[in-house]
């Protein structure tokens, strides 16, 4: 047996016999890592016992349209993020920071699926069966259909899957399992790639949905090659702030659904509980009656969510004023500040600006522009915004407030939560039924919105 090393790019998987600073495959710097390679007979076992269906080219007009068969869990948030349930034969990668609750979520989902007389295999390369049992006890899980396997060797895992033919498989985590014929360490680029390819094969051939857990690096990417994300069908991120109990499940890639939907959970002693009324939770800790705090009605996928947006504008001490944002694109804030300066006459160029979305949510749709502008103006002028106002609208470069989608859903949600006024684009005023417990005010431009926000406080 000869041993040799090679260098593999963690971004794109490019291989090279020698180290290079820059990867020729993807032009990234410092991404080549040394790994041991085994040269000799490739003793990899093929799944030769499975008869492959012959594929024939079909005219696209004749391709049969069939919805993918899906399994529904009782977790509505989970189903929604996946695009309507777990798709048969799909490979899903779920990433997240250490301790965020990945194992907890997947154990709860496993238990849920196993309840409907289905067989579920939960493979852990990280924890012993006893540790999993401890968690299961805390979560009140005790189903016979849920089988636990503490194993790192993927060949054994694959054999178990072959024999058991489960309906759902979890592999926790991809960084801890290995294939014996790949000599690099578990978690290395080659191992992660080969293992994922092997799992993919099993998932597709046996039509079993497989969820794999992936750790996240400090930079926030799933550890291992970026390729991993290309190989799988769906990539989910489970995120949240360490100090908050909310957890957000987000699809960043989905071959079977949209990537707009988010699922919101709360981490409790007894496990993860779904949050079906996110607006109430997000507004719970609202800094009522402070300058810079504004509420926006944003669409998260198909659901309207009301969130608090906070700005802090203060004179900057250095030449280059700072623009810092959390949960919102910094460029959007810079642009809105430029519009406020040029079209409304706020002198913001010597001000530091910090803009933050509360509750760990990310807002990226244009409809939040107006709320951002009002929040910045409010902090700059040090004037409070009424706590019963909500702002919706896109802001154009000339300071005009442009129409947004789904205005009725946004306003209805605001009315439901007790908001008294919705300041919306004037062009959004017609064509829908305004709820009668909220006043809807249409504005043409930013100046008008600011006048209404600051002078005409209700009652
Ligand atoms: N007794 C408990 N009461 C409340 N919450 C708990 C309790 N024990 C654990 N937790 C929560 O569960 C989290 C750990 O969950 P879990 O092990 O599922 O995370 P993970 O993402 O799988 O972590 P890792 O990256 O270590 O695998 C803890 O950070 C904590 O928030
Ligand atoms: Mg875990
Ligand atoms: Zn590369």
Mean pLDDT by 10 residues, the chain (459 residues): 75 84 86 71 46 70 76 93 92 91 96 92 93 94 93 95 95 92 84 92 94 78 70 90 81 86 89 87 78 91 88 88 92 96 93 89 91 96 92 96 94 90 95 91 95 71
Q: Name the domain boundary from 245, 276, 307.
A: 276
CATH of the domain at 406: 3.30.230.10
Place of tokens 């949905």: 209
Burial class (CB in 10 A: 0-12, 13-18, 19+), 43: exposed
CATH of the domain at 175: 3.40.50.300
| pLDDT score for 46 | 46
Same domain, 300 and 361: yes
Asked if the structure places residue 270 within a domain, the reply is yes
Same domain, 255 and 119: yes
Q: Name the domain boundary from 250, 276, 302.
A: 276
Same domain, 285 and 400: yes
Same domain, 289 and 385: yes
Same domain, 160 and 243: yes
Asked if the structure places residue 238 within a domain, the reply is yes
Same domain, 255 and 348: no
Asked if the structure places residue 174 within a domain, the reply is yes
Number of domains present in the structure of the chain = 3
Strands (E), 40-176: 70-71, 86-87, 91-96, 120-124, 146-150, 168-172
Asked if the structure places residue 53 within a domain, the reply is no
Same domain, 120 and 167: yes
- pTM of the complete model: 0.77
Same domain, 87 and 226: yes
| pLDDT score for 163 | 94
- The CA 19 to ligand 3 mean position distance, Å, reads 12
Q: For residue 98, give the ligand 1 atom closest to its CA.
A: 25
Same domain, 361 and 308: yes
- The CA 310 to ligand 1 mean position distance, Å, reads 30
Domain of 7, in residue numbers: 2-39
Q: For residue 172, give the ligand 1 atom closest to its CA.
A: 27
Q: What angle do CA 246, 376, 316 make, to 5 degrees?
A: 105
Place of tokens 């609202």: 286
- The CA 188 to ligand 3 mean position distance, Å, reads 15
Q: Are strands 323-326 and 351-357 parallel, antiparallel or unpaired?
A: parallel
- The CA 101 to ligand 2 mean position distance, Å, reads 7
- Which of 103, 126, 266 has the most ligand 1 atoms within 8 A of CB, as the residue to mutate? 103
- Which of 101, 173, 246 has the most ligand 1 atoms within 8 A of CB, as the residue to mutate? 101
Q: For residue 104, give the ligand 1 atom closest to its CA.
A: 18
Which ligand approaches the C-alpha of residue 97 most closely? 1
| pLDDT score for 221 | 64
Asked if the structure places residue 459 within a domain, the reply is no
Same domain, 20 and 110: no
Asked if the structure places residue 11 within a domain, the reply is yes
Same domain, 91 and 219: yes
Ligand 1 binding residues, C-beta < 6 A: 96, 98-104, 126, 138, 267, 269
């Amino acid at each position: 047996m000869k041993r040799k090393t090679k260098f593999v790019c963690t971004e794109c998987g490019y291989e090279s016999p020698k180290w290079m600073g820059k990867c020729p495959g993807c032009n990234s710097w410092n991404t080549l890592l040394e790994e041991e390679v085994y040269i000799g007979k490739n003793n990899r076992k093929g799944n030769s016992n499975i008869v492959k269906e012959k594929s024939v080219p079909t005219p696209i007009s004749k391709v049969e349209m069939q919805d993918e068969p899906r399994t529904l869990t009782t977790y509505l948030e989970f189903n929604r993020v996946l695009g309507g349930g777990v798709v048969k034969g799909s490979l899903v990668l779920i990433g997240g920071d250490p301790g965020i609750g990945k194992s907890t979520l997947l154990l709860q989902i496993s238990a849920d699926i196993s309840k409907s007389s289905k067989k579920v295999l939960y493979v852990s390369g990280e924890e012993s069966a006893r540790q999993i049992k401890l968690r299961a006890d805390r979560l009140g899980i005790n189903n016979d259909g849920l089988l636990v396997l503490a194993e790192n060797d993927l060949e054994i895992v694959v054999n178990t899957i072959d024999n058991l033919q489960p309906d759902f498989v979890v592999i926790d985590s991809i960084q801890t399992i290995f294939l014996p014929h790949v000599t690099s360490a578990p978690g290395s680029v080659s191992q992660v790639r080969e293992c994922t390819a092997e799992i993919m094969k099993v998932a597709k051939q046996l039509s079993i949905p497989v969820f794999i857990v992936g750790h996240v690096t400090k930079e926030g990417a799933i550890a291992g090659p970026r390729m991993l994300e290309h190989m799988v069908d769906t990539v989910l991120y489970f995120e949240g702030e360490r100090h908050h109990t909310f957890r957000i499940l987000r699809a960043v890639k989905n071959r079977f659904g949209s990537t707009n939907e988010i699922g919101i959970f709360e981490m409790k002693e007894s496990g993860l509980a779904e949050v079906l009324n996110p607006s109430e939770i997000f507004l719970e800790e609202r800094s009522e009656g402070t300058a810079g705090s504004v509420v926006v009605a944003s669409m998260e996928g198909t659901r309207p969510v009301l969130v608090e947006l906070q700005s802090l504008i203060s004179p900057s001490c250095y030449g280059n004023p700072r623009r810092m944002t959390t949960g919102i694109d910094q460029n959007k804030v810079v642009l809105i500040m430029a519009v406020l300066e040029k079209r409304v006459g706020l002198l913001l160029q010597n001000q530091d600006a910090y803009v933050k979305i509360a509750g760990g949510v990310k807002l990226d749709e244009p409809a939040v522009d107006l709320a951002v502008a009002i929040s910045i103006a409010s902090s700059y002028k040090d004037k409070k915004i009424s706590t019963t106002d909500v702002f919706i609208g896109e802001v154009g470069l000339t300071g005009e407030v442009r129409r947004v989608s789904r205005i009725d859903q946004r306003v209805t949600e605001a009315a439901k939560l007790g908001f008294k006024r919705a300041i919306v684009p004037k062009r959004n005023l017609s064509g829908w039924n305004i709820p009668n417990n909220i006043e809807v005010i249409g504005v043409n431009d930013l100046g008008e919105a600011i006048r209404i926000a600051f002078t005409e406080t209700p009652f």
